[in-house]
Structure 1
Amino acid sequence: MKQKLTASILYIFSLLPFWLLYRLSDALYILLFYITKYRKRVVFENLSNSFPEKSEQEIVTIAKKFYRFLPDLFVEAIKMRTIRPEEVIKRIELLNPEEVYRHFEAGKGVIGVTAHYGNWELGIHRLSLMTDHPRLVIYKPLNNKSFNTVYNDLRCRFGATMVPMKQILRHIVRLRNTPHISMFVADQTPTYQDSDYFMEFLHQDTLVYTGTERIARLTKNPVVYCHIGRKKKRGHYYCKFTTLVENPDDFAEHEITHLHNQFTEQMIRNQPEFWLWSHRRWKRKRRK
């Protein structure tokens, strides 16, 4: 019952036009930043530790821009429930899809990597519409099973297959000789059971996932970064593909992991307000 109610509410709100959803977003900004102060301590701590060279005023400026962008993400995610394919294509411009297509034409699968940056959720819809080859989206299941089901149904509207992290090997093996793309959101916080590898990321000792690298080595598939940035026009984005690794065997252990995390870091440094600063990214510390 709760799941159906949540789905019904999301559906009703998703029918609202974008201009009205953005008015709602404007109100949410005031609510989140000034009234409820949503995760404000986490955001400012993350920003201060990531940019020790910046002044207090510069940190405040980035934080305000982030809080201004965050509710846009909320309402755009809601809109994913009923948005038309042509509207998705209009709102996310693929700058160089040929970078992915060339790997497909060579008969290879693609290990896609992205981050909680720009509108990665709408990016799932755009990825689904760019090819008829299998599209796998690797995700970490939410604790709330009802919301997890509702959200994954929303993400799968245009043909993507949602695959829990612990089941990825089974799907990859099945598609070993088939062109496909498996998209990893690789900047999440792993548990100690999932990874024991730390590296420096945004000036901080950071526990990182190595799954992207492990799957790339197993399949011998190229690793392609999907950079989803925001255009100046509200609600409009671009996606640029960059092949970081052509042949995984050419790289030393953990080098692929460093490559895609360093790419993410540089992307964040260029425009920090579009990363998910409210996430408790550094809650895992080295065990003594």
Structure 2
Amino acid sequence: MRKKSIAALLYITSLLPFWLLYRLSDLLYYLLFYVMRYRKEVVFENLENAFPEKSAAERKTIAKKFYRFLPDLVVEAVKMRSMSKKEVEKRIELLNPEEVYQYFDQGKGVIGVTAHYGNWELGIYRLSLMTNFPRLIIYKPLNNNDFNEVYNALRCRFGATMVPMKQILRHIVQLRNQPHISMFVADQTPTYQDSDYYMDFLKQETLVYTGTERIARLTKNPIVYCHIGRKKKRGHYYCQFTSLVTDPDAYAPHEITEIHNRFTEAMINKEPAYWLWSHRRWKRKRRS
């Protein structure tokens, strides 16, 4: 019953027009930043560690811009429940889909990599509409099963298949002889059981996932980065694809992992406000 209530509330709220949802977002910004002080210690600590060369005032400007953007993500995620295909295509522009199509034309699968940057949730919808070949979205299950089921159903509206991280190998092996795309949100925090590889990321020693590299070496599929950037007009984005690896066998161990994380890092350094700074990304310290 709880799951049905969540789904019903989500759908009813999604019927509100964008202009009203953005007024709610404006209110939510003040609540999160000034009243609730939502994860402010985490955000400011992350920014201080990532940008020690910036002044406190500069970091505060980034933080306030992030807190203004975060509520937009929330209301846009709600709106996704009733968005039409036409609206999705209007809201997020594919700048160069041929970067992915070239591999499909060669009969290859594509390993897509993105990050918690821009509106990555809306990116799932746009990815689902760009091809009829299988589209796998690799995800880390939430602790709350009700929310997990509701949001997975939301993400699958336009044909994507949600695949838990621990099941990805089986699914990709089944698709190895046909074009498909599997999308990894690769900047999440792994458990100690999932990875033991650390690298310098945003000036901090960071435990990173190596699963994208492992899958690429196993399947020989190219890795294409999907950068979701924000346009000047509120609620509008673009997706730019960049081929990072075309021959996984040509790279040394962990080099592929370094490559796609360095790409994410450069993207964040260029426009830092649109990354998920409220995430406790550096909670896994190296164990002695």
Instruction: Find the counterpart in structure 2 of residue 103 from structure 1.
Output: 103
- Are residues 1:93 and 2:96 paired? no
Instruction: Find the counterpart in structure 1 of residue 60 from structure 2.
Output: 60
Instruction: Find the counterpart in structure 1 of residue 170 from structure 2.
Output: 170
Q: Could you tell me how far apart the structure 1 residues matched to 2:261 and 2:149 are?
A: 29
Q: CA deviation at 1:149?
A: 0.2
Q: CA deviation at 1:219?
A: 0.2
Q: Could you tell me how far apart the structure 1 residues matched to 2:151 and 2:134 are?
A: 20
Q: Could you tell me how far apart the structure 2 residues matched to 1:160 and 1:82 are?
A: 16
| Secondary structure of 1:287 counterpart | coil
Instruction: Find the counterpart in structure 1 of residue 158 from structure 2.
Output: 158
Instruction: Find the counterpart in structure 2 of residue 83 from structure 1.
Output: 83
Q: Could you tell me how far apart the structure 1 residues matched to 2:27 and 2:77 are?
A: 17
- Are residues 1:277 and 2:285 paired? no
- Are residues 1:204 and 2:204 paired? yes
Q: CA deviation at 1:187?
A: 0.1
Q: Could you tell me how far apart the structure 2 residues matched to 1:216 and 1:17 are?
A: 42
Q: Could you tell me how far apart the structure 2 residues matched to 1:145 and 1:85 are?
A: 28
| Secondary structure of 2:257 counterpart | helix
- Are residues 1:248 and 2:280 paired? no
Q: Could you tell me how far apart the structure 2 residues matched to 1:18 and 1:103 are?
A: 36
Q: CA deviation at 1:243?
A: 0.2
Q: Could you tell me how far apart the structure 1 residues matched to 2:20 and 2:136 are?
A: 32
Q: Could you tell me how far apart the structure 2 residues matched to 1:105 and 1:251 are?
A: 24
Question: Aligned partner of 1:242: which letter?
Answer: T
Please list the CA deviations of residues 162-198 of structure 1 after superposition, one character each: whole Å capped at 9, or x if unmatched.
0000000010000001100000000000000000000
Please list the CA deviations of residues 98-140 of structure 1 after superposition, one character each: whole Å capped at 9, or x if unmatched.
0000000001000000000000000000000000000000000
- Are residues 1:25 and 2:25 paired? yes
Q: Could you tell me how far apart the structure 2 residues matched to 1:245 and 1:25 are?
A: 39
Q: Could you tell me how far apart the structure 1 residues matched to 2:133 and 2:161 are?
A: 11
Instruction: Find the counterpart in structure 1 of residue 38 from structure 2.
Output: 38
| Secondary structure of 2:25 counterpart | helix
Question: Aligned partner of 1:201: which letter?
Answer: F
| Secondary structure of 2:276 counterpart | coil
Q: Could you tell me how far apart the structure 1 residues matched to 2:158 and 2:21 are?
A: 22
Instruction: Find the counterpart in structure 2 of residue 118 from structure 1.
Output: 118
Instruction: Find the counterpart in structure 1 of residue 134 from structure 2.
Output: 134
- Are residues 1:73 and 2:76 paired? no
Question: Aligned partner of 2:250: which letter?
Answer: D
Structure 1: gaps of 5 or more residues: none
Q: Could you tell me how far apart the structure 1 residues matched to 2:68 and 2:119 are?
A: 14
Q: CA deviation at 1:83?
A: 0.2
Q: CA deviation at 1:50?
A: 0.3
Instruction: Find the counterpart in structure 2 of residue 220 from structure 1.
Output: 220
- Are residues 1:262 and 2:242 paired? no
| Secondary structure of 1:142 counterpart | coil
- Are residues 1:147 and 2:117 paired? no
Instruction: Find the counterpart in structure 1 of residue 4 from structure 2.
Output: 4
* Count of residues paired in the alignment: 288
Question: Aligned partner of 1:272: which letter?
Answer: P
- Are residues 1:238 and 2:238 paired? yes
| Secondary structure of 1:193 counterpart | coil
Question: Aligned partner of 1:102: which letter?
Answer: Q
CA RMSD of aligned residues (A): 0.3
In the TM superposition, structure 1's runs of 4+ consecutive aligned residues that sit over 4 Å from their partners are none
| Secondary structure of 2:146 counterpart | helix
Q: CA deviation at 1:267?
A: 0.2
| Secondary structure of 1:224 counterpart | strand
Structure 2: gaps of 5 or more residues: none
Please list the CA deviations of residues 226-278 of structure 1 after superposition, one character each: whole Å capped at 9, or x if unmatched.
00000000000000000000010011100000000000000000000000000
Q: Could you tell me how far apart the structure 2 residues matched to 1:240 and 1:250 are?
A: 25
Please list the CA deviations of residues 18-77 of structure 1 after superposition, one character each: whole Å capped at 9, or x if unmatched.
111000000000000000000000000000000010000001000000000000000000
Q: Could you tell me how far apart the structure 2 residues matched to 1:223 and 1:9 are?
A: 38
Identity of aligned residues (%): 78
Question: Aligned partner of 1:128: which letter?
Answer: S
